[in-house]
Chains A and B, each alone.
Chain A
Amino acid sequence: MDDLLREFLTETNESLDTVDVELVKFEQEPNNARILDNIFRLVHTIKGTCGFLGLPRLEALAHAAETLMGKFREGAAVTEEAVSLVLQTIDRIKGILAELEAAEGEEPKGEDRDLISQLEAMSMAEAAPRKEPPKKDKKETAGTLVAQVLERELRPGEVSLDELERAFRETAVEVEVAADEPAAEEAAAPAPAGIDFARVAAEIEARMKQANPDDKQGKAKSAEEGEAEAEAKSEKGSVSSQSIRVNVETLEHLMTMVSELVLTRNQLLEIVRRHEDSEFKVPLQRLSNVTAELQEGVMKTRMQPIGNAWQKLPRIVRDLAQELGKQIELEMVGADTELDRQVLELIKDPLTHMVRNSADHGLERPEDRRKNGKTEKGTIRLAAYHEGGHIIIEIADDGRGLNLDRIKQKIVENGLAGEAELEKMSESQIYKYIFAPGFSTAAKVTSVSGRGVGMDVVRTNIETIGGTVDLKSTQGKGTTFTIKIPLTLAIVSTLIVESCGDRFAIPQLSVVELVRVQNNSEHRIERIKDTPVLRLRNKLLPLVPLAGLLKVDVSAEKSEDEGFIVVMQVGNVTFGLVVDGVFHTEEIVVKPMSKMLRHITMFSGNTILGDGSVIMIVDPNGVASAIGTAVATDALDNHADADAARGVDNDAKISMLLFRAGSPEPKAVPLSLVTRLEEFEIEKIEHSNGRDLVQYRGSLMPLVYPNYDVRRREEGTQPMLVFSDAGRSMGLVVDEIVDIVEESLNIQVGSDVPGVLGSAVIKGKATEILDIGHYLPLAFEDWFKRKEISSAALTRKLLFLDDSAFFRNMLGPVMKAAGFDVTVCSSATEAMRLLGEGAAFDVIVSDIEMPVVNGFEFAEMLRRDARFKNTPIIALSALCTPASIERGRQSGFDEYVAKFDRPGLIAALKEITSADYGIAA
């Protein structure tokens, strides 16, 4: 891809994001000409550049959108449909851009006639009643025409080439006529044969006017516009001349080098400290200052306003509001608060998820709001500000607030805590349970429409970047989520501790306080059957010796009951880490651990300290999960036991949704396949054409019964699991949703019954695992087929290996549905045999966790063979940590996708195969 195109892609993507935001604003303030001008200018620039780069499809789309917006400028009414249509066009353009990027500059084939004709129809409809035919900015039109290809029909608002030529010809003739009277003109016109471009232009303008005889305000307005545009342009020009684009990699490298410099400086300072009067002292001080400033400067280059992560939100909220029939106002405060771009990338998704949640579930419908004496329009307020070395983000809604009783009920049902314990808990402690794994999803079962899948996912995401999330909620008044995240991930403030002669660094963010314990002091370690605990402010704090956790030999002469306790909080787990000594805090630069050590979950990285020695950085999350659920609450005992029972084989645990349908035995499906859990009033279930349907989010959703014994309730509500894919939804009717459990799935008995994959032991009971792939076609016969047809021409051969029959059965059909010719293997050796026999595949999808030869080894092996050097390989793994992804990349995988991330897998396949199509073409 050439630089020009790359530049174009970056710039256009930025512009489009702005257009998104501006359009939503515009819809609310249709009379704001400045906003409209801004949008118009951006779209126009895109159109112009596309024409220049020879991207006819994009150009056509942008042109049609521009024409419609031109109508707005002329005063046509701004309707919701019109804005939606333009937004849709922007989405299409984005889609094409993405493909363009993937295909290295090859514009994807396809037709946008559908959108364009709608846009044109709307432009015409806007124009007709007001007798205002298309009007175009003249000089811009001329610009487009230069790069124009003559292979399509004229669009509204354009001049034909003939017209243009005629203009040229006629003007030229006039010039010739002028040349006929040389005596009078010669002096004034020294080059009589030349074309007078000014006149050509004038002629074209005149002709345009002829074509648009009703353009009354024409001149005056266009002059005004020209001025405004010139102003805007000069503004933009001045900004762009002051900034340059720098490759992120360059910045990363710079950052690493500065980090090295900081470390070296620290080492030097340490040396000088030991020699009292050294002549190095003064220059070193200067070096130290310069280094600090340099570090700050480089850090600044990585900073981006958080508004960048918010850019898509107004659009999302608008769409949601429309879909849900709510009125929502999105307030954003502190969008210019800056934070590290790496952090920014990582919080984007959790933020979006939370805003979506607030809009969907936090805010009530207008009628309910009115009943409660609130304004019909609900507000979601996003605020960001700095506090200490952290950035605080608040997401607040003025909706109904969390339902305390329901949460309590669910806590008890799930066995997370007993009734008696709940009595002692504060409200905020109870609210925090919505972040417990599987909990949020379970909670929503009881509410009419539940919370979307996964507040625990949000929490996990935030915690992986060393952040915390908290919430406050008042019933009837609203809910506020507070996220606290470090400004940057590169430099971490840590506490240096000692345990058995080794030093370790603990990130400060998770350290709550330090307690010194001695046998005779107020704080001392007590034991309940060998389990050490500490009485701290009337609470019992579970203790874990760091040495024991790290399995370091505890030297006998040390008194076990003397030392320091680092009180740590990870999520809602609080515990005390017993260490021998505490030194000081130090700002460190985290360096990734060697691959050979990355399997140790207790450490997140290592670094070089000021004295030049290497120190391991303790991962609070790793520690918390190691001491695990046993510490979280006593009520989780059975979970902990289960964990212990599993012991070594803690492979691929997945969340399963347990429910009952028809028979008393539990049934299960992987939770990640379920889009939502819903309960519908029985009256809402309609019968039509021999099947049951409900109206769901503006369309009809067919209901499917897993078997004939499912109780069709007479009254009340009917629970169901909703599965959605590519805009279609199906409801699987069940009797009762039982639980969500995290278990390693091991299908022990296969099944011949259609719709059942087999049986597995879940929570000690034999449970039927349903095959969702069987039910989807029952709802829509063409669920799989319609995709097949569209891509039949592109059928590519795909090799899929996975040792688990469950995944083979589940993902095989999915990939087949995506248009691939799938060959399935149950092990790497089987696959190698196939490949050895000369079978050729366009793409290979491989599981990572496999016995004998694992996915990494398999990929490495393939990469070593010249025949498969360039075959795209996608890794599929239950374990999706940055370390494993990195390991996958090193082994030669092109993509690393989480199991169950079905859309992700399809997207990866599409991207990879279309990319290699681009190269081949």
Chain B
Amino acid sequence: MTATSHTPGAAANDSHSGQIQYVTVFIGGQLFGLPIHKVHDVFVPESMTRVPLSAPEVAGVLNLRGRIVTAINMRRRLGLPQREGNHGIMAVGIEYRGESYGLIIDEVGEVLNLDAAGREANPANLDGRWAEISGGVHRLSGQLMVILDVERVLGRMQGDMAA
């Protein structure tokens, strides 16, 4: 369980069963996993309003069933190039400190049941931007899944703003 203790909060709730459910998403071809209890909904962002002067990662604000959601461009957050061509975009809705956020991703995958013990710490040479928001790595057959730590994705941004 040494690996589990590495991520604060993210897995603590589920670790008693030894299994964690992840919603998987693709960003720039890479498979990411979000702990399922963090994900409120998955939606197609519509009529997004740009917010001038905001951080580059902020894609804009939009109305999701009467709530104002701040959309985060995950490609930008991860330092990936913007997507070329005309694709439909998807967003994962999450709640963070009483506010609604939408993480804009390329595609939504499936829900995976993974053994908590199978998690490994970030490789030491992982890109700084990624290591900052990754809660570890799962080795799946054929590919690797990076665990997205929601707290760090958003907390870090809020922190930057205040400074």
Contact = CB atoms under 8 A, between A and B. Distances in A.
Interface of A: 260, 263-264, 502-503, 550-552, 591, 594-600, 602-603, 606-608, 612-616, 854, 856-857, 864, 887, 890
Contacts of A260: 66
B99 A594 contact: yes
Given A596-B70, A596-B158, A857-B159, A616 B58 contact: no
Contacts of A614: 49, 60-63, 68
A795 B158 CA distance: 37
B52 A550 contact: yes
Nearest to B162: A856
A608 B51 contact: no
Contacts of B101: 594
A550 B50 CA distance: 11
17 contacts: A263-B66, A502-B49, A502-B52, A594-B61, A594-B70, A594-B101, A595-B97, A596-B157, A596-B158, A597-B61, A600-B54, A602-B52, A603-B51, A613-B49, A613-B62, A614-B60, A616-B61
B44 interface: no
Interface residues of B, number: 28
Interface of B: 8, 47, 49-55, 58, 60-63, 66, 68, 70, 97-99, 101, 154, 157-159, 161-163
B97 A550 contact: no
A594 B8 CA distance: 24
A645 B147 CA distance: 45
Contacts of B47: 612-613
A552 B162 contact: no
A600 B70 CA distance: 14
Contacts of A595: 97, 99, 158, 161
Contacts of A594: 61, 68, 70, 99, 101
Contact of A551 (B49, B52, B158, B159): B52
A596 B68 contact: no
A419 B54 CA distance: 43
Contacts of B62: 613-614
B54 to A, nearest CB: 6
B49 A552 contact: no
Contacts of B51: 597, 600, 603, 616
Contacts of B158: 595-596
A609 to B, nearest CB: 9
Most buried by B among A264, A550, A614: A614
Most buried by A among B50, B68, B162: B162
Contacts of A591: 68
A597 B54 contact: yes
Contact of A602 (B53, B161, B163): B53
Contacts of B60: 614
B31 to A, nearest CB: 26
Contacts of A612: 47, 63
* Closest A-B pairs by Cβ, 7 of them: A550-B52, A594-B70, A614-B49, A614-B61, A599-B161, A600-B53, A608-B63
Nearest to B100: A594
B161 A606 contact: no
Contacts of A552: 50, 52
B49 A550 contact: no
A596 B55 contact: yes
Contact of A854 (B50, B68, B157, B163): B163
Contacts of B98: 890
Nearest to B50: A502
Nearest to A501: B50
B162 A854 contact: yes
Nearest to B99: A594
A601 B142 CA distance: 48
A803 to B, nearest CB: 13
A378 to B, nearest CB: 49
A440 B101 CA distance: 46
A160 B55 CA distance: 75
Given A608-B68, A614-B61, A856-B159, 10 more contacts: A264-B66, A502-B50, A502-B52, A551-B53, A552-B50, A600-B53, A613-B47, A615-B49, A864-B8, A890-B97
A717 B154 CA distance: 61
B161 A598 contact: yes
A503 B157 CA distance: 26
Given A591-B68, A613-B63, A856-B162, A597 B52 contact: no
Given A552-B52, A613-B47, A614-B63, A606 B68 contact: yes
A602 B51 CA distance: 11
A606 B100 CA distance: 14
A264 B65 CA distance: 9
Contacts of A551: 52-53
A265 to B, nearest CB: 12
Nearest to B157: A596
B157 to A, nearest CB: 6
B58 A596 contact: yes
A599 B50 contact: no
A602 B53 CA distance: 9
Contacts of A857: 159
A116 B97 CA distance: 51
A890 B53 CA distance: 24
A599 B49 contact: no
A552 B52 CA distance: 6
Contacts of B63: 608, 612-614
Most buried by B among A600, A854, A887: A600
Most buried by A among B53, B62, B154, B159: B53
A553 to B, nearest CB: 10
Nearest to A608: B63
A503 B55 CA distance: 19
A260 B158 CA distance: 27
Contact of B49 (A602, A616, A856): A616
Nearest to A502: B50
B79 to A, nearest CB: 18
B140 to A, nearest CB: 31
A856 B97 CA distance: 14
A68 B46 CA distance: 72
Contacts of A890: 97-98
Contacts of A597: 51, 54, 58, 61, 70, 161
Given A502-B49, A613-B63, A596 B163 contact: no
Nearest to B158: A595
B52 A596 contact: no
Contacts of B154: 596
B144 to A, nearest CB: 29
Contacts of A606: 49, 61, 68
B11 to A, nearest CB: 16
A789 to B, nearest CB: 41
